[in-house]
Amino acid sequence: MKRSHPEDALALAFIALLVVLGLILIVGGVLYFQHSNATTVAPVPSGQCTCADVADLENRLGEANAAIAEYQAAIGEIQAMDVKSGKKTMYSDELYTYEQENVQLAINGAYIKGARSGTGDTDTACETTINAPTPCLKGSFQTHENVHSATCQKVKQDLGDKYSPLTTDYRESLTMEQFWNDEIAAYSAEIRYINENLPRAKADTSKCQWTCIDDGKSYDDHAVCEKSCRGGLGKTITTGYRCKNTAKP
């Protein structure tokens, strides 16, 4: 029976260690390559909005304007605080959470019942995530998050090697005023997107018709349907849109 020598065991252990280190370097390199080449500011294709998106766009327009008004009020308050303290208030999760609750209340107040909406986010790697039910709404939210992604990349560029997505939050390099102004810029970009696409969606009558929830009558134009479908005695009192979008037969 052949005996193994201690030197052989050490050699095998050393080889195994090299293999493990090699795998770590390969995986790390792949992850770094994927991250460094990730698309952050995503292009928003045109022509995605149709008549089926009219109500959603009108709703989102109201939400965006409501959010901007709330952020403007918050900026006025933080500016007064900064003057009193003699220094700029830096971003903090506490102030962020507090103001987001106010913004959400404003958005909820502007929401039109029956309309669809969505969500968006920009992470510390400056990458965006969109969750919306239609290509048109995805375009609106992507337009919004592209503003935040560009701001994130600017901070990342300024910090250079000091910036790590694992330990650095780009927002912490901003004052609260700068951060809220970035939100206003993002919602303003959305409003431009909506103002560009809403007329096109309203002009598109090839696929949609609007049906009154009270009498079942159908119309090609959403605004005409809403004006005609006002209910009456014995009808269900409904807030928000009274016409449902249905495909043309």
Q: Which of 187, 203, 219 is the last residue of a domain?
A: 203
CA 44, 49, 52, 53 torsion-angle sign: positive
Q: 135 and 195: one domain? A: yes
Residue 145, domain extent? 51-203
Tell whether 8 is covered by a domain: no
Q: 138 and 76: one domain? A: yes
Q: 194 and 218: one domain? A: no
More confident site: 28 or 100: 100
In tens, the pLDDT along 44-100 reads 988 899 999 999 999 999 999 999 999 999 999 999 999 999 999 999 999 999 999
Tell whether 137 is covered by a domain: yes
The pair of three-digit structure tokens given for residue 87, joined into one six-digit string: 């220094």
Tell whether 9 is covered by a domain: no
Q: 161 and 233: one domain? A: no
Over residues 149-165, mean pLDDT: 92
Determine the Cα–Cα distance for residues 137 and 153; give it in Å rounded to an integer.
Answer: 24
Domain total in the chain: 2
- Contact at 8 Å (CB) between 129 and 71? no
Q: 119 and 162: one domain? A: yes
End-to-end CA distance of the chain: 86
Q: 100 and 172: one domain? A: yes
pTM of the complete model = 0.76
Tell whether 27 is covered by a domain: no
66 CB-near residues (< 8 Å, 6+ apart) = 106, 107, 109, 110
